[in-house]
Amino acid sequence: MVPERVIFHIDVNSAYLSWEALELLKQGSNIDLRTVPSIVAGDPSKRRGVVLAKSIPAKKYGIITGEPVVKAVKKCPAVKIVPPSHDVYARYSKAMTDLLYSFTPDIEKYSIDECFIDVTGLKLKYKNDFLSLAYLMKNRIRDELGFTVNIGISENKLLAKMASDFKKPDRVHTLFREEIQEKMWPLPVSRLFMVGKASNAKFQVMGIKTIGDLARTDVVLLEQKFGKYGRMIWEYANGIDDSAVQTQESEAKDLSNETTVEFDITDRETARLYLLSLSETVGMRLRKAGLYAGVIAVNLKNSNFESYSRRKKIGNPTQDTNVIFKTAIELFDTVWRNDPIRLIGVATSELVREPVEQLNMFDNLLIKQSERKKLNESIDKIREKYGSKYIVRGSLLNFSKDSNKDTE
């Protein structure tokens, strides 16, 4: 029986590594990063930072996401290291979203490499054959865009997301309510969405080893121990979720970029690397749209999936990457609780089209906004044509601990 509501969750397989591989192949490389030991990491020249993504061959050497680059190199001295390019990722992400829009507008962009689609409205067109529709989407992404995805199918967002995380890559999986006990309950409780390291450790102490164990635990006991989180995670273990697919508003009231990482960010330098890459992308998107931001914000989510943020209204609306990045660092240093970070984002709001141009005599480079704008636009053109690795701000390659230094 076809449920009343049908939701797809689409997740790009090894997104960063796949997109880096495609970009290098476009630029004439004769090596496909997906077929050799390779990692996406902070600073290839100095081998600093942590592993952000890895290829399957790299995984065979025991390299894991989130470990220091130095450790990964010891495991495989010949591993190929490439720096992250968030503007490239944004471009491939948009290409995938545009392709999916040809099926339906009911899409929620959950992160740069995953989205939810409410396909309920396509029941008549595809005669309730949602499995064939999922394979059609998956194969078009692979054949037209060059990378693979997993698609999870269910009656709600939670179960669809859980299904997409089953065997990879390039697969379609279902997880309907009647399949929960067979497919989801035997999994380790750590595999359940919203279970972080801290909560998993507590569950282990309580003797809760699997998702099924959690589902069968007294919800009152969980509420007493974990509060609202206890009921929510019990509902998730039982496949209960009534959240709607949130489609994008047609008129942009804000502009942001964020990324979910596969490991815990626990140091300022790694966070700074992400913030610069995200600021680059946000700045470029503002300039493309001809918009200036009056408010800049940093959004964080920790390993317990608790979200918090800090925003700042700036004196003059800006689209300058330098200003966005420096403000983001200032906000991060103010708001970060020194807890492990799983999602980090840079957002802008109060967007306007006419900025107030003003010379700041205390700016390190004494550059007017108009001159800085020309510099940023030149950088954008080079990055769009040749890729982000061909022109990278100094801080991306050598991020010092002094955030007051100029980043050009």
Query: Known catalytic residues?
Result: 114
Please state, in angstroms and rounded to a whole number, the distance separating the CA atoms of residues 290 and 10.
31
* Cross-strand partners of 355: none
Break the chain down into helix, strand, coil percent, rounded to 5. 40, 20, 35
Please write down the HEC assignment for all residues of 306-374: CEEEEEEEEEEEECCHHHHHHHHHHHHHHHCCCCCEEEEEEEEEEEECCCCCCCCCCCCCCCCHHHHHH
Give Cα 130 to chain centroid, integer Å. 26
Instruction: Please tell me the number of Cα atoms within 13 Å of 242 on its side-chain side.
Output: 0
DSSP designation for 49: E
Please state, in angstroms and rounded to a whole number, the distance separating the CA atoms of residues 193 and 316.
41
CB-based contact 234:222 (threshold 8 Å): yes
